[in-house]
Amino acid sequence: MSRLIKQINFPSDLRKFKKENLKQISDELRDELIDVVSETGGHLGAGLGVVELTIALHYVFDTPKDKLVWDVSHQCYPHKLITGRRDRIKTLRKGGGLSGFTKRAESEYDPFGAAHSSTSISSTLGMAVAKKLSNNKNNVIAVIGDGAMSAGMAYEAMNNAGALKSNLIVILNDNDMSIARPVGAMSKYLANLLSGKLYFSFRETIKMIISAFSKRFSQKAGKAEDLLRNIVTGGTLFSELGFYYVGPIDGHDVENLVQIFENVKNSSHQGPVLIHLRTQKGKGYKPAEESGDKYHGVSKFNISTGEQSKSKSDTPSYTKVFAETLIKHAEQDTKIIGITGAMPSGTGLNLFEKKFPERTFDVGIAEQHAVTFAAGLATEGFKPYAAIYSTFLQRAYDQVVHDVALQSLPVRFAIDRAGLVGADGPTHAGSFDVTYLSTLPNFVVMAASDEAELVKMINTSVEINDRPSAFRYPRGNGVGAKLPAINEVLKIGKARIIKEGKKVALLNFGARLEECKKASDRLLIKGIECTIVDARFAKPLDEKIIMELANNHEVLITIEEGSIGGFGSHVMQLLSDRGVFDTGLKFRSMILPDVFIDQDTPEKMYEIAGLDNISIANKVEETLNSKIIFAKNKNKITN
């Protein structure tokens, strides 16, 4: 049998085939997806679950004129394979290659970039309104699922779409999964919906759609159809939000999907429609189907066995160090609570949950709720740990400010994936948390330079009961530092001196400490001795040691893996307030550049960012050789 998929480079090629060919094309696309990800790594399970849906959507709708938006978009690899990117597909998630998510700059078939959750309905509603205002009749389709319907933003958008009666098609890809098993009342509602034997056959579904959209149906027939629809939807939710509900439908029956999409596309119905599909994450690949997370994210793997290649390391991951340290504290302190937003394995709280299931709360993709939920726990004397990736905590910034900081509540923020994260690229980089947290009154903000320091910061946070605290740590493995006992705490706002030198001081905040040491070794070969200090705290600053560095060195350079406005900016403000720059101190702040850095290896990304050891050494030499322009005197500033 000839492989039809090789003839399809664009959706226009797909539309040349007969409907009866689509099953074969779907099977071939699934095989191609497995082959690609086995070599590139990345998101597999979600893509396997939407193969038939991808084929049906591009077969029926006139993409890219019709706008197709994938929520989160980690399921977009099949979409990329048939939208002109097959020749580059094995560059996925590599430097200079294709993004692992949809990206507007990459293709006209990606009308909206996404890698965070629950944005599809809002963005497509904006497109639908724009088309109406422009008298454009093209369709707009949002595909949402994988837990994204647990976030409030999806319902805010649906409520707005229903009120506007916008012509918008929302496809609920219900696969009973997000990254982990789904949680919450919404998940139970959808499960109950499907358990009542109200599954529509192909003929019954078409009959319902035709009767619903036909101009000629009688008033009596219309009432009967409404009754049937209300029974199917539980009589509430989607219809109450103003959506016409269709489903649930088998999301792997490609010919059925095509027929339904054609009826919806060609109907005269005015207003938003929600098509509820039932799919299986990991569909068609046995190791994925049998895996607990359905092979959500994978490294390179052996197709025959499903065995993934793992990087070898003798040191534990920062995530595991966090989880195991928190477990030790929780064994002694019953007030400690673990909270995550649909990322139990990613944050290590799955390990915590095994020991303390009654003290672990996965709230779904709902970081805003997670933060205020933690604040409520804190008011009652508990010690909540909100374990959230840096990039996802951004969604809850108002709650961090208003519900936590303003009330000085002792919520502890464990900020995973701080700094640049490699293949996931700029959407998942933890670039801004130091800036957006250290500007807040009443906060303690820490960054671990190694796994031992992380343990000490967790220990310290347990004892902070009068204000919120946060500690950040990178993705990946530690450096091999010996882990301290859980009773070793830090003095709040106290830095540590790593090495003493002359003329040049490197003031590090976070996981660039090893690069500072390497830079110092490079400089020593040239006769330049450096003092190295691990700041530990961006807030409060160790003002005493910073002033000593400023007074006793010609050059002071801060290094951090964060954006402008963070640690270096606060140090600069302190020095400015104390008048230090009048003495002729040469100060530089090394931060992430004011650009979004595309995916690559973490090492290459830090090289691009100018935060590797060579860049640090070069910055020292460049600063030493620079001239002082504005210094008024050479008098030392006292504390």
**pLDDT, tens digit, for every residue of 14-67?**
999 999 999 999 999 999 999 998 888 888 888 899 999 999 999 999 999 999
pLDDT recorded at residue 234: 39
Same domain, 452 and 570: no
Q: Work out the mean pLDDT of the chain and round it to a whole number.
A: 86
Whether the predicted pLDDT of 224 surpasses 90: no
Last residue of a domain, one of 263, 298, 333: 298
In a domain, 303, yes or no: no
CATH number of the domain where residue 545 is located:
3.40.50.920
Instruction: State the Cα–Cα distance between residues 3 and 12, nearest whole angstrom.
Output: 17
Percent share of the chain, pLDDT over 70: 87
Whether the predicted pLDDT of 180 surpasses 80: no
pTM of the model: 0.83
Same domain, 416 and 520: no
Same domain, 146 and 177: yes
Whether the predicted pLDDT of 191 surpasses 70: no
How much is the average pLDDT of 573-602? Answer: 92
Same domain, 348 and 463: yes
Residues 389-443 pLDDT 10s? 999 999 999 999 999 999 999 999 999 999 999 888 888 989 999 999 999 998 9
Instruction: State the Cα–Cα distance between residues 468 and 560, nearest whole angstrom.
Output: 22
Residue from 531, 584, 538 nearest 560 by CA: 538
Number of H helices, E strands in the chain: 26, 19
Domain count, the chain: 3
Residue 608 burial (CB count, 10 A): 18
Residue 592 CB partners (closer than 8 Å, separation 6+): 420, 431, 561, 562, 563, 609, 611
**Cα-Cα-Cα-Cα dihedral sign, residues 47, 53, 59, 60:** negative
pLDDT recorded at residue 184: 47
Please give the sequence-ordered ranges of beta strands (E in DSSP) within 251-293, or none if there are none: 273-278
Query: Could you list the active site residues?
Result: 281, 367, 395
Whether the predicted pLDDT of 220 surpasses 80: no
Same domain, 340 and 466: yes
How much is the average pLDDT of 308-330? Answer: 91
In a domain, 631, yes or no: no
pLDDT recorded at residue 424: 87
Whether residue 540 has a cis bond before it, omega within 30° of 0: yes
Same domain, 413 and 501: no
Cα→Cα distances 302→40, 200, 285, Å: 12, 38, 12
pLDDT recorded at residue 75: 87
Last residue of a domain, one of 439, 472, 505: 472
Residues 147-164 pLDDT 10s? 777 778 888 888 898 888
Q: Pairing state of beta strands 67-70 and 140-145?
A: parallel
Same domain, 25 and 149: yes
Whether the predicted pLDDT of 627 surpasses 80: no
In a domain, 66, yes or no: yes
Last residue of a domain, one of 246, 267, 298: 298
Same domain, 262 and 364: no
CATH number of the domain where residue 325 is located:
3.40.50.970
228 or 569: which leads in pLDDT: 569
Same domain, 458 and 550: no
DSSP string, 90-120: GGTTSTTS--SSB-TTT-TT-SS-BSSSS-H
pLDDT recorded at residue 252: 93
Whether the predicted pLDDT of 168 surpasses 80: yes
* Boundaries of domain holding 217: 4-298
In a domain, 639, yes or no: no
In a domain, 305, yes or no: no
In a domain, 49, yes or no: yes
Residue from 49, 62, 59 nearest 25 by CA: 59
pLDDT recorded at residue 231: 43
In a domain, 313, yes or no: no
Same domain, 550 and 443: no
Same domain, 322 and 288: no
Cα→Cα distances 525→166, 586, 617, 620, 622, Å: 68, 22, 11, 13, 16
Cα→Cα distances 264→139, 170, 233, 251, 272, Å: 10, 11, 18, 16, 11
In a domain, 634, yes or no: no
pLDDT recorded at residue 423: 87
Residues 93-144 pLDDT 10s? 888 888 888 889 999 999 888 878 788 888 899 989 999 998 998 999 999 9
Same domain, 281 and 391: no
